[in-house]
Structure 1
Amino acid sequence: MVKTMKIALISDIHANAFYFKSVLVNIKNENVDKIICLGDLVGYYDEPNEVIDLCRNNNIMCLEGNHEEYTLETKVYAKEKEELYRIKVHNKILTKRNRKFIEELPKEILLEDEGVSVYCTHALPQNSSKYIYNPNDIEDVHLRGYDYYCSGHTHIPYIHYKYGTCLVNPGSVGQPRDYTTLPSYAIINLKEKSVSIKKVEVDVNAYMKHLEKIKLHLSLRDILVRKNA
């Protein structure tokens, strides 16, 4: 039943299976009923197949993000960013099964039962690449009276309340961009009507050695080790 569910929200894994595995271990200790990924399984890092396999094997409900659209060529991206986005690389290495997986991802998920509604999308319903850093900028028309409005894309977590709706951004699993270098996720406990952001410790140095070994773009490494504010 939706009304009594405990949900883990994740987003923006970006082919970083190393961080994702640590986050999944942490989530399993929460005894959740469902895990929902708000999109961007692919892009940036080097293990898109591993990430998609983990999502499938853990029965994670996944949404389409803008990087899935770039990969499927249903959304145009700036080609000068290819070295960072690595869309062509991912297109070459994705298995047929995993490409089919992202082809079938929905743009939105709505869980609704006994008067409780949880709406999930990547950024905005009509624009998966729109950055919403201030939750007050989400127009009321998008909220539609939902109890929970969940979105990712910014890589920055928040919990905010607006006109009776709880707006939740779980941050990023694969490339956190907030005041810490730690991956994050959100827990929504519908029975207790509580929401929280969880941070997960990872061995950044070990992952950096891996990225250096495969000579991944310096910018993709630097963003993971910037100093805390």
Structure 2
Amino acid sequence: MKLAVISDIHSNLYALMKVLDDIDSEDVTSIICLGDLVGYGCHPNEVISLIKRRNILSLKGNYDASVIDNSYTYIRNTETNSFSLPWTFDELRASNKFFLSSLPTSMTLDFGNRKIKLVHGSPDKINEYLTEDYENLDAIMNNLSEDVLICAHTHMPYIKNFNNKLLINAGSVGKPKNGSPNATYAILEIYDNMPIKAKIKSVEYDYNKIIKDMQLNKFPSRLINSYESGIE
């Protein structure tokens, strides 16, 4: 089977639409979202509606949880978030707040004889940054009972092998931080008695569309510029 994993859409409808078009061309069996559907961008309701319409199984991200609380529960109190958090809370429909609140924070899926752990941040914390050089990666993977750990949250994609285990960071659909404006997501090919194949895909989209919408809504220039630079 083929599994597509997306994450950190952050209210960027245009990036999500383009990524879903790319996923459709890959003929995947299922799509899973690791959370942070909202925050930063200006289309939170539209993003959630599309996720619902496509019946995409989703987790709750740290930004989603903070928007539900309308507080800096799991996000930093920064100049950007001081605008983005209340704006998103006010913009989000009550039904979509309920949808976000109902999402799980992790899940484990069985594919034949393989077990895959899916989280937003880490198996321990919704907002833990599992960067590629994170000092606790070895300990986290040694303690993992599943065969594969798939995370996001850092907005920086990578694939790493740990002996017989696999760690995948799916990156970010809507707000990458790897120096490119392109959306990223992960694809896994899982078949019995064969090694799991994983790859990161980079997808171009017209980021000028969301920049224009953010300008019309008077979003901070630093936040707007990050969509073009791919840097926080």
**TM > 0.5 fold call:** yes
Decide which moves more: 149-158 or 177-186.
Answer: 177-186
Which among 124, 136, 139 is matched to residue 126 of structure 1? 124
Describe how 1:199-214 pairs up with structure 2 within 5 A.
Answer: 199-214=202-217
- Name the structure 1 match of 2:34: 38
SS of residue paired to 2:35: coil
Deviation at 1:83, TM superposition (A): 4.7
Instruction: Provide TM-score, normalisation by structure 1.
Output: 0.89
Say if 2:170 and 2:186, in contact at 8 Å, map to a contact too. yes
* Residues 206-215 or 182-191, more deviating: 206-215
- Please give the residue correspondences for 1:148-167 in structure 2 after superposition, counting only pairs within 5 Å: 148-167=148-167
Rounded to whole Å, the distance in 2 between the matches of 1:123 and 1:63 is 11
Q: Verify the 8 A CA contact 2:120 2:153 in the aligned structure 1.
A: yes
Q: How does 1:102-181 map to 2 (within 5 A)?
A: 102-134=100-132, 137-141=136-140, 143-181=143-181
- Count, aligned residues: 224
What is the deviation of 1:125? Answer: 2.4
2:41 partner letter: Y
Shift of 1:118: 1.0
Name 2:227's counterpart in structure 1: 224
Runs of 5+ in structure 1 lacking a partner? none
1:186 aligns to 2:189 (yes or no): no
Shift of 1:132: 1.8
Give me the CA root mean square deviation.
2.1
Q: Is contact 1:132-1:138 (8 Å) kept?
A: yes
> For the structure 1 residues 23 and 113, does the alpha-carbon distance in structure 2 shift closer, same or farther, using more than 3 Å as the test?
closer
Instruction: Report the CA distance between 1:205 and its aligned residue.
Output: 2.6
- State the 4+ residue runs in structure 1 displaced beyond 3 angstroms: 76-85, 139-143
Which residue of 2 is the match for residue 6 of structure 1? Answer: 2
Q: Kindly state the Cα deviation for residue 61 of structure 1 after the two structures are TM-superposed.
A: 0.8
Following superposition, the deviation at residue 50 of structure 1 comes to 0.6
**Cα offsets for 1:60-116 (capped at 9, x unmatched):** 111011111111228254445465562222222222221111111001011114321
What is the CA deviation profile of residues 138-179 of structure 1, one whole-angstrom value per residue up to 9, with x for unaligned ones? 243555232210000000000100131111111101101113
Q: Does the aligned pair in 2 maintain the 1:15–1:47 contact within 8 Å?
A: yes
- C-alpha change, 1:172 and 1:24, in structure 2 (3 Å) is same
State the 1:212 CA deviation.
2.0
Distance 1:227 1:11 in 2: 16
Q: 2:109·2:116 contact (CA, 8 Å) conserved in 1?
A: yes
Aligned to 2:54: 58
Question: 2 CA distance for matches of 1:78 and 1:152?
Answer: 17
Q: Can you give the 5+ residue segments of structure 2 that lack an aligned partner in the other structure?
A: none
Deviation of 1:213 (Å): 2.3
